[in-house]
Structure 1
Amino acid sequence: MWKNMNKPDFGVLDGLKVVHSATNMAGPMGATMLADHGADLIWLENPRIPDTSRSGIPLTVEIERRNCRTLALDIPSPQGREIFKKILEDADIYIEGWKPGTLAKWGLSDDVLWSWNPKLVIVHVSGYGQSGDPEYYTRGGYDAIGQAASGFMNQNHGAVAPFSCDAQAAMYIAFSSLAAYYRVCKTGVGESIDLSQVEIMMRQQLYLSDYATNGRTYGDESKKSATIAGWGPFTAADGQDIYVVGIGGNTMRKGADWLGLKYGSELNPEGNSIIAKGTAAGDEWDRVLTEYIASVPAATAEKELLAHSIPCTRIMTYEDVLNTEHWKMRGTFTTYKSSHGYDINSVAPMPHMANRPGQVWRGAPSLGMDNEEILGELGFSAEEIEKLYADGVINKRPVEDFRQ
């Protein structure tokens, strides 16, 4: 039985055992979300070809592989398979992200894994799913691919941001695995989850369902709303943009009235909460917002709009975010030591828990950093571990400096 004796007792998921062999972002990010709230997490990594993220964007590994231990294991090898079996026999959740069909090709189908552990929750993460048209489900899936293939990129006239698809998928990985685990605790029967990143991005789009139901299309939403007036960025006198979402009952009653759209008038009737784009009222709402915001500095516009119940914010830079006192007061950011010994400043585990908060207890491990510890917990002797190294079943590399 494996258990990390060095992990502090913390979080609402303390005692949950999670294993992942996913790469890049979505799968590992979902696993890290669980570990941030106390789950005991083991990362199984290819001993010969390290995770792509190790050579990608600086600090990717440090942020999305924190709070875990790593075992660099050749899973399909005979010895690796036996070690894999010992690990999963004692796991609650297993997350994998290989090309669909890879585990089955290795003789490690869901049924085989359940023969080892009938209660195991298995999460298969891929771009297009585990079944369907082979022309699709055999394709590689990455963040931008998920945005492009789901219609999301077209609707927004370009990729929205790096990792937006990965982050959405990660939240569904965390949610669905815990939902399945809740059911397993009641029934004792494991579950297999087929999570497609493209499908997740489809699920996030109301406009896609509207098109499927009504054939309705929407204009360019990459900047201002194509359907709602008063929604989007407006430029202040000092050149800084303010993003306004000018909707809601109080906004119409107080804010629009303050800017000249008298509440109760034909353009702003009582009970109104949204002004449609392309109408006389919509044109006027956009005009008065544009003219007012352009006449004053961004800080003044933000203060006055908020004072009159018009939701808005200056479009913040990272420097602005880090210097905002509100986030400091909430403990939004945390500092922890990397395995290399330097400080990592990162967003703390989210969301905030009142009674059992999450924490970062460890930076990202280097390849195979915890081989001996994990294998020792599984009952392997020092001599047996040395032979696994000699046979290429496990591997280890020096601690890396991910700042470069």
Structure 2
Amino acid sequence: MNQTQHPTQTQNQQAAHEAAATARGPLAGIRVLELGTLIAGPFCARMLAEFGAEVIKIEAPDAGDPLRQWRVLKDGTSLWWSVQARNKKSLTLNMKSDEGQQIARQLALDADIIIENYRPGVLEKWQLGYEDLKAINPATIMVRISGYGQTGPMRDLPGFGAIGESMGGLRYVSGHADRPPVRVGISIGDSVAALHGVIGAMMALRHRDVTGGRWNGQQGAACIAGQGQMVDVALYESVFNLMESLVPEFDVAGVVRERTGGALPGIVPSNTYTTADGDNIVIAGNGDAIFHRLMKAIGRDDLANDQQLLRNDGRVPRTAEIDAAIQQWCSTQSIDAALACLQQADVPVGKIYSVRDMMQDPQFLARHMFEEHSFADGSPVKLPAVTPKLSVTPGATNWLGPQLGQHNEEILQSLGYSSEQIAAFKSKQVI
């Protein structure tokens, strides 16, 4: 396949970055095998790569991860790919071939963490399931991300982030009461599942290390290895985990939380309001002392001094009245004037940012939230910076998303395959 069309840094730059990366990051020395496509599994692996782990991503030889062609493209490759696959190594393998499965098995047995997001049962068909690997390497840590988890009556159904958001409760409470539910403008279900995968992987890695450490490649009595485990992440459960007090409110009080637009139900005031210039502003005056300052700032001393409104439980029955008072004031203010006034009063307030706002904002800039890189043709690109920010071992972008199969020879040679064997794999379309 012609690889020259994929935007990336020059080979010399990339080789230098890769060499430097081996000694960087809190996860330096950790090997990760990524088996999966699109968002949840790859995002999970991406975060580990950003903090120093060596991540080997297996892709289909013909087209690779479909995300390479998603959304806005440059020279035929997604700009999203530059972010989602940064710091990863790309190995192409035909996983339907015996040779491809054998290579993947070698990599899996040598990995500290395996991340996969196939439907349950697919890896077992390839003899790459958790139990298969655990029988050889007891320290195996496998993060399995799927729509509904590895058990239960729905385990075999296809599950995407949008379905997880719906089943997990997020869609039901998103939007306005008089309209159908809406989605968040990003794949939030996949991303939340990915973060759960990262958390699970780190906890499993910690447990493995305190129970003996990494597998030494031997079996039987000579093997001294820590205890690995499977991290079972379901998309719908990851979303469900964010749903605050939804369950006990229904169980104890019979309350079903409904859609409330820009407001946060039961926490007053916290809503979106429109200023005189037509901009939207979010005001969170729901703390008791904050509410008093907010009412004073907008000239409503009567509400500030109303004894019934001193606490949140007294404000909830009068939500409409309080929101109307705030909106009336906002309608007389420009967004800049409203922000200045409420910030002076120490009231949490914020403009709703577009990406244009973000990239011009002093706070984003002061926190170095954008990184500058170059594609192979020399054209610049800005990426979001790596978060969270660690004071001693921060993460970094060492290279952009790799070309398809860019690391084939490097990885296969590290497994002991000769140049002749690698050439044979190419001719047989194994890689």
TM-score of the two chains, using structure 1 as the length reference: 0.90
State yes or no: 1:211 paired with 2:250.
yes
Describe the shift of the 1:16–1:147 C-alpha distance in structure 2 as closer, same or farther (beyond 3 A): same
Shift of 1:72: 0.7
The residue aligned with 1:175 is: 199
Q: Distance in 2 between matches of 1:326 and 1:116?
A: 50
Q: Structure 1 residue 96: deviation in Å?
A: 0.6
Code of the aligned partner of 1:190: G
Structure 1 stretches of at least 4 aligned residues deviating more than 6 Å after TM superposition: none
Which residue of the other structure, out of 128, 131, 153, is the alignment partner of 2:151?
131
Partners of 1:95 and 1:339 in 2: how far apart? 29
Aligned to 2:110: 90
- The residue number in structure 1 matching 2:27 is 13
Aligned to 1:337: 374
Alignment of 1:70-219 (within 5 A): 70-133=90-153, 136-156=154-174, 157-187=181-211, 188-209=226-247, 210-219=249-258
- Whether 1:250 and 2:250 are equivalent positions in the alignment is no
Instruction: Judge conservation of contact 2:86–2:402 (CA < 8 Å) in 1.
Output: yes
For 1:376, the equivalent position in structure 2 comes to 413
Which segment is superposed worse, 189-198 or 248-257?
248-257
Structure 2 distance, partners of 1:274, 1:297, is: 31
Q: In structure 2, do the counterparts of structure 1 residues 273 and 258 end up closer, same or farther at CA, with 3 Å as the change threshold?
A: farther
- Residue 182 of structure 2 aligns to a residue whose secondary structure is coil
Question: 2:64 aligns to what SS in structure 1?
Answer: coil
One-letter identity of the residue aligned with 2:88 = C
Matches within 5 A, 1:386-401: 386-394=423-431
CA offsets 1:16-46 (integer angstroms, 9 cap, x no match): 1111111110110111011111111110112
Name the aligned partner's letter for residue 307 of structure 1: Q
Corresponding residue for residue 267 of structure 2: 228
Deviation for aligned residue 1:274: 6.4
2:6 is matched with none
Give the alignment of 1:44-59 within 5 angstroms. 44-58=58-72, 59=79
- Pairwise CA distance, 1:386: 0.3
Partners of 1:258 and 1:7 lie apart in 2 by 52
Task: Say which SS state the counterpart of residue 206 (structure 1) adopts.
Answer: coil
> Which residue pairs with 1:321 in the alignment?
358
| Bigger Cα displacement from structure 2, 61-70 vs 103-112 | 103-112
Question: How far apart, in 1, do the equivalents of 2:314 and 2:388 lie?
Answer: 33
The 3-state SS of whatever aligns with 2:309 is coil
Per-residue CA distance 1:107-142 (angstroms, 9 max, x = gap): 222121123322121011111111110xx2222222
Letter in 2 for 1:245: A
2:403 is matched by which residue type in structure 1? S
CA distance in 2, matches of 1:331, 1:293: 32
Identity %: 27
Matched residue, 2:41? 27
Cα 1:153/1:340, change in 2 over 3 Å: farther
Any idea what SS the aligned residue of 2:307 has?
coil
Aligned residues: 385
Range with bigger deviation, 296-305 or 340-349: 340-349
The CA distance in 2 between the partners of 1:170 and 1:231, in whole Å, is: 29
* Distance change >3 Å, CA 359–CA 9, structure 1 → 2: same
Alpha-carbon distance in 2 for matches of 1:105, 1:189: 24
Residues 23 and 97, structure 1, Cα contact 8 Å, conserved in 2: yes
Q: Deviations over 1:164-218 (max 9, x none)?
A: 1111111111110011110011120110111100111111112532324542112
Structure 1 range deviating more: 41-50 or 286-295: 41-50
What secondary structure does 2:32 align onto? Answer: strand
Deviations 1:326-353 (A, max 9, x none): 1111111112234565433111110111
CA apart distance, 1:268:
3.0
- Summarize the Cα distance change of 1:313–1:114 in structure 2 as closer, same or farther, 3 Å threshold: same
Contact 2:290 2:347 in 1 (8 A): yes
Q: CA deviation at 1:364?
A: 0.5
Compare 366-375 and 136-145 and name the one that shifted more: 136-145
Rounded Cα–Cα distance in structure 1 between residues aligned with 2:363 and 2:58: 38
In 2, are the aligned partners of 1:71 and 1:374 still within 8 Å (CA)? yes
Mapped partners of 2:198, 2:261: distance in 1: 29
Secondary structure of the residue aligned to 1:137 is: coil
2:11 maps to none
Q: TM-score, normalised by structure 2?
A: 0.85
Distance 2:20 2:426 in 1: 24
Q: Measured at CA, do residues 214 and 106 of structure 1 come closer, stay the same or move farther in structure 2, by a change above 3 Å? A: farther
Please say which of residues 65-74 and 250-259 is displaced more in the overlay: 250-259
- Specify the code of the residue in structure 1 equivalent to 2:36: A
Shift of 1:143: 1.9
More moved, 218-227 vs 176-185: 218-227
